[in-house]
Amino acid sequence: TWNDNGYAHSAQDPTMVYRTEFFPGLGWLLSRKWWLEVVEPSWPKCCQGYSWDLFMRDVLKGRGLDSLYPDVSRTYHIGKSGANVFNAFFNGYFREHVLA
């Protein structure tokens, strides 16, 4: 998964895992059962102004669930432009993340 703070100066241990109530966003997995019972039935229709990461944060809210995320990210954001990313943001935020 993804660590929002996974920069070279702060993320160095590929064996360390953190637990949080916050949904980390840019790389995740869940069980098929949880997808079918909880997420899929309420998944928003495409392009209605609701990004999937905000949707997932709302789904987790109030359920007493936690997310685990690694010290060093296992995924990497490759898009330099898009609905919520532009070149300067990519260069300042994503480019410097370390990857396991």
The DSSP line for 52-67 is: HHHHHHHHHTTTT--E
Distance of CA 90 to the CA centre of its chain: 15
Look at the alpha carbons of 30, 20, 85, 97 in this order and tell me if their dihedral is positive or negative. negative
Say whether 53 is catalytic.
yes
Of 4, 13, 53, 71, the catalytic one is 53
Catalytic positions, please?
53
